[in-house]
Amino acid sequence: MSSLNLDDFTDLIERPDGGVRRDAEARRERLAVPPGSLGRLDDLGEWLAAAQAAVPVRPIERPRVVLFAGDHKIAELGVSARAAGSAVELVREVLEGGRPVSVLARRLGVPVRVVDMALDCDPASLPEGVVRHRVRRGSGRIDVEDALSPEEAEAAFRAGTAVADEEADSGTDLVVLGDLSVGGTTAAGVLVAALCGTDASVVTGRGGLAIDDLAWMRKCAAIRDALRRARPVLGDQLQLLATVGGADLTAMTGFLLQAAVRKLPVVLDGVVASACALVGQRVAFRAPDWWLAAHDSGEPAQAKALDRMALEPLLAHGVTVGEGTGGLLALPLVQAAAALAAELPERPERPESAEDAEDAEDAERQPETGPGTEPEQEAAQER
């Protein structure tokens, strides 16, 4: 019998420090730049202060990109512009520096960590630097079978929590969370539709490479069929992930929840990360207070998930590529908010003018003329 109880996260996860946030808001009122003039940067700075329990906020100096990788056999139905089982190619391109996330990470000086959860390849063929947590070779075809066995789901979830602990212990102060998957957006659509109670067509997007109409119809049918399998297990989030999620999505959910336990802020990259966050919210309602939505990817399932969690994307540039790219685009904005909150000077107190000082002295010298004073009594006697 499994010793993993997701309900424990409800008690383990606390909200960011509300008292510190109020202190940050009070400090913002005293800054030389008028309150509200920096827009969302003000909110970001206050959120970071609460997450760090520090006023002024500390700079973001050790961010990291964490990408969970896996193949999904649902891609065999032609729901993705990429061939089924080809996620390992994405992994190689990222680590060799040829993907957008690689370029941005190099430019920003942010390390990228890739975690193999269910790549459909020989482990010996993986590039150096890939973290090995594989629980199976490709997650199951969720329209007709479970993505994972219960044992595999538990192993994947625990792998995600272990990676979160490693990041927190190493001093990482913010994580950009994304995925390297083929078929992952289909699984994400199923999770969002199941948790939001919507139909398949409402959450079916076109993926990072913009599939054509026929592929969109196949994807919509796959989500519809998987959704029928998901609805009976909605009460058990780990079982839901085992049924229609997959190893990478299960690990990402574990990562998000444990990061919230460890008070490690996370930037959500795209639809897959957002779907996992939605599952995490169902497990522990305070957890989304530790997460930021990086950008609007245009995927309807992502919009649905973020709306349910009341998370507003920082950017809307139409970036659909995934792989942590949108998260890295948002990172300088978060770093700028921290720098402004910490380094802008407070307004100097208004010095007392010479005229004000003379008026104060005159007031002190002027005798009182109230009803009980001598001048008032003399006036009364004269009358």
What tens-digit pLDDT sequence spans the chain (383 residues)? 467 999 999 999 999 999 999 999 999 999 988 888 999 999 999 999 999 999 999 999 999 999 999 999 999 999 998 999 999 999 999 999 999 999 999 999 999 999 999 999 999 999 889 999 999 999 999 999 999 999 999 999 999 999 999 999 999 999 999 999 999 999 999 999 999 999 999 999 887 677 889 999 999 999 999 999 999 999 999 999 999 999 999 999 999 999 999 999 999 999 999 999 999 999 999 999 999 999 999 999 999 999 999 999 999 988 888 899 999 999 999 999 999 999 999 888 765 555 555 655 665 565 554 444 554 555 445 54
Q: What is the DSSP code (8-state) at residue 72?
A: B
Q: Is residue 11 part of a domain?
A: no
Q: Which residues are catalytic?
A: 323
Handedness of CA 87, 92, 97, 98 (dihedral sign): negative
If one counts the domains in the chain, the total is 2
Spatial contact of 60 and 173, defined as CB atoms under 8 Å apart: yes
Q: Is residue 30 part of a domain?
A: no
How far, CA to CA in Å, does 211 sit from each of 37, 63, 78?
Answer: 41, 33, 9
pTM: 0.89
Q: Is residue 24 part of a domain?
A: no
- Find tokens 């939001």 and name the residue: 196
CA–CA gap between residue 248 and residue 239 (Å, rounded): 15
How far, CA to CA in Å, does 20 sit from each of 17, 24, 49, 52, 173?
Answer: 5, 6, 7, 9, 18
- Domain carrying residue 370: 355-383
Given 309, 328, 347, which residue is the final one in a domain?
328
Are 208 and 287 found together in one domain?
yes
Identify any residues that bridge with 66 across adjacent strands, giving them in sequence order: 113, 177
CA–CA gap between residue 288 and residue 305 (Å, rounded): 11
Domain CATH number, residue 114 = 3.40.50.10210
Are 68 and 215 found together in one domain?
yes
